Chain A
Amino acid sequence: MKVHEFEKIVTKLGMQTRDSHDRLAWLVHDGVTVVRTRRSQGNSKHLPEHLIRQQLKINEEQFSGLISCNVSKEDYLKILTAKGVIAKKSPEAAS
């Protein structure tokens, strides 16, 4: 996985970022921190794709779609909701 692909995901999902020892990224949805990921900023430029994918709670196909244009942020939120990572809104709260 390339750095620009990581940054593309971060930008697409509108993740909050902070540059520390690493570049940290958090997805906050409705005030709740849903998932987090990170990439190293050290000498090692290697980004372990499968571990970042696991942190984002998606499979390989969804991850590839996230890097390309097949999976949007709305699609991603639906995936996380279906997996229970994002709590489903109750009908009362929705209304």
Chain B
Amino acid sequence: MATAVASPVVNSAILSGSGRSDLFQDLQIDQPLSSKASGMAIVLPRQKRDQGYPEPNVRVEILLPAYAPNPRPAKVLFGGLQDPDLQVIRPIPLDVCVEESAVVVSWAEADEFGTGENLSCALDDFSHAVRELYHHLHASDTTPGADLLRVKQILGKYIEPRTK
């Protein structure tokens, strides 16, 4: 004997354009969700010729893009330096923007940046850039000029060698 899978009966939907983010929070279904309680299959009510449309029993809300949560924030605090010898002691503030379909993160204070196809790739690129910069400026054979000395001092405020 076949078992019918019960689903809610949707007569029609009320469209609401409030733009709120609680898309399914107020979903209301008047009809019983399952026929298990009664042990009988749901039978749609017979329609009469001059009945018209049934009353709507589901409310649908449209989430306008302007109200949607932004998956790519304008600012990021970065702390994920991928270097076994270095650790971030203060989160690095980054600005995030999109240029020519590429995501660009930039650290204005130190004039450093990272790019990538998405935010994750851009942060990964930034991580490589910062560790390369740190190691180069702290190399014994490097004599930094005035501006790079400033950058070196800034790096020192955010990054320090990892103690073993």
A residues lining the B interface (CB < 8 Å): 20-22, 24, 26, 29, 31-36, 38, 40, 42-48, 51, 54-55, 57, 84-87
Residues of B within 8 A of A36 (CB): 133, 136, 148
Closest residue on chain A to residue B118 by CB atoms: A44
B residues less than 8 Å from A38 (CB atoms): 129, 132
A-B pairs with beta carbons under 8 Å apart, 10 shown: A26-B136, A35-B145, A36-B148, A40-B116, A42-B121, A44-B115, A46-B102, A51-B111, A51-B113, A54-B111
Q: Is the interface of B mostly helix, strand, loop or mixed?
A: mixed
Is B91 on the interface with A (CB-CB < 8 A)?
Answer: no
Check B104 against A51 for contact (C-beta < 8 Å).
yes
Q: Are A43 and B117 in contact (CB under 8 A)?
A: yes
Task: Give the chain A neighbours of B145 by CB distance below 8 A.
Answer: 29, 32-35, 85-87
The answer to the question of B50 belonging to the interface, with a C-beta cut-off of 8 Å to chain A, is: no
Shortest beta-carbon distance, B147 to chain A, in Å? Answer: 5
Among residues of B, the one whose C-beta sits closest to the C-beta of A29 is B145
Q: 14 new A-B pairs (CB below 8 Å) besides A33-B142, A48-B113? A: A21-B132, A22-B128, A31-B143, A33-B143, A33-B148, A35-B145, A38-B132, A42-B116, A43-B116, A44-B115, A51-B104, A51-B111, A54-B111, A87-B146
Partner among A22, A26, A31, A84 whose Cβ is within 8 Å of the Cβ of B146 = A84
Q: Indicate if B100 sits at the interface (CB-CB under 8 A).
A: yes
In the complex the two chains form, what is the Cα distance from A55 to B112 in whole Å? 8
CB-based nearest B residue for A54: B111
List, in ascending order, chain A residues with CB within 8 A of B101's CB.
46
Give the most central of A24, A29, A47, A48: most B CB within 10 Å. Answer: A48
CB of A28 to closest CB in B, whole Å: 9
Query: Which residues of the partner chain B approach A85 to less than 8 Å between Cβ atoms?
Result: 145-147
B19 / chain A contacts, CB cutoff of 8 Å: none
User: Which 5 A-B residue pairs are closest in the complex by CB-CB distance?
Assistant: A46-B102, A21-B128, A34-B145, A51-B113, A44-B115
Cα distance A41–B16 in the bound complex, in angstroms: 48
User: Would you give the shortest CB distance from B120 to chain A, in whole angstroms?
Assistant: 12
| A24 lies within 8 A of B100 (CB) | no
Instruction: Give the docked Cα–Cα distance between A44 and B101 (Å).
Output: 9
- Closest chain B residue to A55 by CB distance? B111
Assess whether B117 is in contact with A44, with CB atoms less than 8 Å apart: yes
